[in-house]
Amino acid sequence: MLRFRDYSIPRKLTLMNMMVSSTVLLLSSAGFFAYDLYNFRKRIVRDLGIQAQIIGSNSLSALAFDDPHSAEKTLSALRAAPHVLFAEIYTPDGRTFAGYRRDRNESFPSPPSITAGSAEVSQFQDGQVALVRLVAVEGKPVATIYIRSDLEAMNDLKRNFTFIVAGVFLMSLLATIWMSSVARRSIAEPIVRLAETARIVLSEKNYSVRASTIDERNEVTVLISTFNEMLAQIQERDAALGKAHDRLEQQVQQRTEQLNAANADLEAFSYSVSHDLRAPLRHIGAFSRILSEEHDAKLDPDARHLLGRIQHGVNNMSSLVDGLLRMAQVGRTKLAWVATDLNSLLKDAIADLQPECEGRQVDWNIGALSPIDCDPGLMKQVFVNLISNAIKYSRRREIARIDVGQLQQDGMSVIFVRDNGAGFDERYADKLFGVFQRLHRVDEFEGVGVGLSTVQRIIKKHGGEIWAKGEVDKGATFYFALAPKGRSFAGATKAAASGQ
């Protein structure tokens, strides 16, 4: 069943008009009826009082000569009053002197008592009205008149009033329906059409439709005009957005073509690096080894030093080429999302790095890591690079300490690799992950500055974040977090864990 607030506007207006007019009419009718009923009762009592006084006055001689027959003739005149049912005259001592009954077989109750100081008393009961009046001559009571009347006149008044109210109510209802139809045409129907237009705009996203206007000058007309103007503005903006979208699509297509061309150039560069550059490096390295092995005795110390520098440069160049190729491969590799046990992956990475720990004392503190969906091959490379850095930069410590673990930040798992090595100045932390960027001299720690950049690319490829905290000569900690498949942290994790 619909509630009133769920009805349509036309139905609400009709019902409200009917309710208001009906309520006003009923309240007005009730007030008029109560007023008329009150006056009618007073009039009945007044008329009965006058009749009692007339009967008393006309019966004085009969009372004086003790002639009940004459008094009864006087009372018989009440037959002309169709509503009078009963009348009696009493002597001062309470004796019934004369009486009148319209129906001789009908009995009536005793008269109500007159209170001291009163000359008349009336009472409504059992659909009748009773009146008792004291008749006095020169202040001395000579008789008491008791008269009763039915209330048929009052009942006729009620019936007539009911018919009148019903007729007025019907006419008011018809007038209300007519006025509601006028209001519906003037107010409700335009608003309903406006709502229908809004529904079409919302469902079909068609801003070219317009709400129909009315030939009136009121608030509804202003509302419809404003709504149509708003639709026109939206249509213009929608057209502008469509043009902007087309331009953006064209620009995206152009940028995509440029990116594809850049990727093709990168592929060509990778091929060139892997073939055209590596071959000369191998030749230089081979000839320098032959020269060192076969002519070492003929070379003076300066020549041998220069030859060693050539071989060292060839090795560094080869390492740099390998690092660039790995970094380029990370960008081209499609992720193979697999549920991975990071503990097993970390164990394999540490095992691969054991040769770098020979002859050193390393205190490993490895915590339990939660499994996660990732590319196992790339993730192992992350652990290898980070732990290899920790081993390298802590080699000047008598006891190197390397911690690998996991912590929770805002409901997200963050993995860290910590060492007690050389550390770094956090003012230059933004250079850590740049290609060829180094915070230490080559004569202090070897390297080409590609490893951390590769790690960052792998983490970002997984939709995650990586960052670092450190202090000079007090070690460094690298944090990284991977987002669930298909999601990204957008930097939230880094901000959350920055206090660690």
Q: Which CATH code is given to the segment(s) 333-497?
A: 3.30.565.10
Give residue 343's pLDDT. 92
CA–CA distance, 446 with 442 (Å, rounded to integer): 5
Supply angle C-alpha 86, 91, 94, rounded to 5. Answer: 85
Give residue 131's pLDDT. 92
Task: List residues bridging with 414 in a β-sheet.
Answer: 407
Query: Position 436: which residue type?
Result: F
Give residue 232's pLDDT. 82
Burial 256-279 (b: 16+ CB within 10 A, else e): eeeeeeeeeeeeeebeebeeeebe
Q: How confident is the model at residue 268 (pLDDT cuts 50, 70, 90)?
A: low
426 or 495: which leads in pLDDT: 426
Sorted by sequence, the CB contacts under 8 Å of residue 285 that are 6+ apart come out as: 311, 314, 315, 318
- Rounded average pLDDT over 162-174: 83
- Rounded average pLDDT over 127-153: 88
Q: Which among 14, 11, 33, 10 has a CA at the least distance from the CA of 168?
A: 33
Give residue 337's pLDDT. 84
Give residue 147's pLDDT. 92
CA–CA distance, 349 with 343 (Å, rounded to integer): 10
Query: CA 20 from chain center: how many Å?
Result: 35
Residue 352 pLDDT more than 80? Answer: yes
Q: Which of 227-236, 241-250, 460-469 bottoms out in mean pLDDT, i.e. has the lowest?
A: 227-236
Residue position matching structure tokens 């060509």: 268
Quick: pLDDT tens for 362-411.
Answer: 899 999 999 988 888 888 888 988 998 888 888 888 888 999 999 988 77
Quick: pLDDT tens for 470-490.
Answer: 888 888 899 998 876 545 554
Quick: pLDDT tens for 284-327.
Answer: 767 677 777 777 777 777 776 777 777 666 665 665 565 556 55
Query: Position 384: which residue type?
Result: V
- Rounded average pLDDT over 435-458: 60
44 or 317: which leads in pLDDT: 44
Give residue 432's pLDDT. 74
Domain residue extents for the chain: 4-169, 233-332, 333-497
Q: Where are the beta strands (DSSP E) in 151-262?
A: none
- Rounded average pLDDT over 423-451: 61
- Kindly report the pTM of this predicted structure: 0.43
**Dihedral, CA atoms, 207, 209, 214, 220, nearest 10 degrees?**
-30
Distances (CA, A) of 74 to 24, 96, 146: 50, 15, 14
Q: Where are the beta strands (DSSP E) in 226-342?
A: 338-340
- Rounded average pLDDT over 5-19: 68
Residue 427 pLDDT more than 90? Answer: no
- Rounded average pLDDT over 234-255: 86
Q: Which among 436, 445, 490, 439 has a CA at the least distance from the CA of 468?
A: 439
Q: How confident is the model at residue 360 (pLDDT cuts 50, 70, 90)?
A: confident
* DSSP structure string for 263-275: HHHHHHHHHIIII
Supply angle C-alpha 16, 21, 27, rounded to 5. Answer: 125
Task: List residues bridging with 144 in a β-sheet.
Answer: 90, 134
- Read off the DSSP letter of residue 277: I
Residue position matching structure tokens 């394999």: 348
Residue 155 pLDDT more than 70? Answer: yes
Task: List residues bridging with 130 in a β-sheet.
Answer: 123, 148
Residue position matching structure tokens 């520098």: 309
Give residue 41's pLDDT. 87
Q: Are strands 465-470 and 476-481 parallel, antiparallel or unpaired?
A: antiparallel
In percent, the amount of the chain with pLDDT more than 70 equals: 77
Sorted by sequence, the CB contacts under 8 Å of residue 407 that are 6+ apart come out as: 413, 414, 416, 497, 500
Quick: pLDDT tens for 79-92.
Answer: 888 888 899 999 98
Give residue 492's pLDDT. 44
In CATH, what is the architecture of 4-169?
2-Layer Sandwich (3.30)
- Yes or no: say if 465 and 494 are a contact pair by the CB < 8 Å rule: yes
Q: What phi-psi label fits residue 370: left (phi over 0), alpha (psi between -120 and 50 degrees) or beta?
A: beta
Q: How confident is the model at residue 445 (pLDDT cuts 50, 70, 90)?
A: very low
Give residue 56's pLDDT. 86
Q: What is the mean pLDDT of the chain?
A: 78
Give residue 195's pLDDT. 76
